[in-house]
Chains A and B, each alone.
Chain A
Amino acid sequence: EVQLVQSGAEVKKPGESLKITCQGSGYFFTSSWIGWVRQMPGRGLEWMGIIYPMDSDTRFSPAFEGHVSISADTSISTAYLQWSSLKASDTAIYYCARVRADCTPATCRAGAFDIWGQGTMVTVSS
């Protein structure tokens, strides 16, 4: 079974650092982009960024670039979302999701999110 399992809920103070994890199984982790999506309380989905684990090629939304980092460890099929200094406005559920490849005869590109993790609730409060 293809699945993504995320780390558990976190409660942090403003200014603290945090790294949350997303472990993939049941598929070739290195050869699929994997991404992160934010959902603030009562709000919609926000696309944060994606990483290609094989070469760590990373693409960010301008709204998140510089505030979070995305990385991956292929030896344990795990992707990471990391903050060096949390803000109260980072309080949200964070989902990781596998990106399916959309292919034409000429090329393949990153597409929709086809497998989702269960989400990690991050609460930042003083």
Chain B
Amino acid sequence: EIVLTQSPGTLSLSPGERATLSCRASQSVSNSYVAWYQQRPGQAPRLLIYGASSRATGIPDRFSGYGSGTDFTLIISRLEPEDFAVYYCQQYGSPPPYTFGQGTTLEIK
């Protein structure tokens, strides 16, 4: 089972700033099969990025993802107030389970 470790645990930034979130896998994720989700308080998660770098339908272009092998990154170029939430990475490159990281909380500074 691949273990995903996200860092930092909490990121404190201001609207307009750039956010960089990291996801490191315990072993290489084949075909860069990594997804990123956003979860706002009291809401279901929402798919942002799949295949490490492809934006899901309706996701603004301020969200971008990249990476390969064991290291993956989500970047939010200019933070909007609605972006402050919890972010999870997930891998689906190995046989199930398609594990999630433990999450990064993006909070307003």
Contact = CB atoms under 8 A, between A and B. Distances in A.
Interface of A: 37, 44-47, 49-50, 59-63, 95, 97, 100, 102, 104, 109-114, 116-119
A111 B33 contact: yes
B13 interface: no
A117 B44 contact: yes
Contacts of B44: 95, 116-119
Interface of B: 1, 31, 33, 35, 37, 39, 44-47, 50-51, 56-57, 88, 90, 92, 95-103
Given A63-B97, A114-B47, 16 more contacts: A44-B100, A47-B90, A47-B99, A59-B96, A62-B1, A100-B47, A102-B31, A102-B50, A102-B92, A109-B92, A111-B92, A112-B35, A112-B50, A113-B37, A113-B45, A118-B44
A55 to B, nearest CB: 16
B50 A100 contact: yes
B33 to A, nearest CB: 7
B47 A62 contact: no
Given A111-B92, A112-B92, A61 B97 contact: yes
Contacts of A116: 44-47
Nearest to A118: B44
Closest 5 CB pairs of A and B: A112-B35, A61-B97, A116-B44, A59-B96, A112-B50
Nearest to B88: A45
Contacts of A97: 45
Contacts of B39: 45
Contacts of A49: 96-97
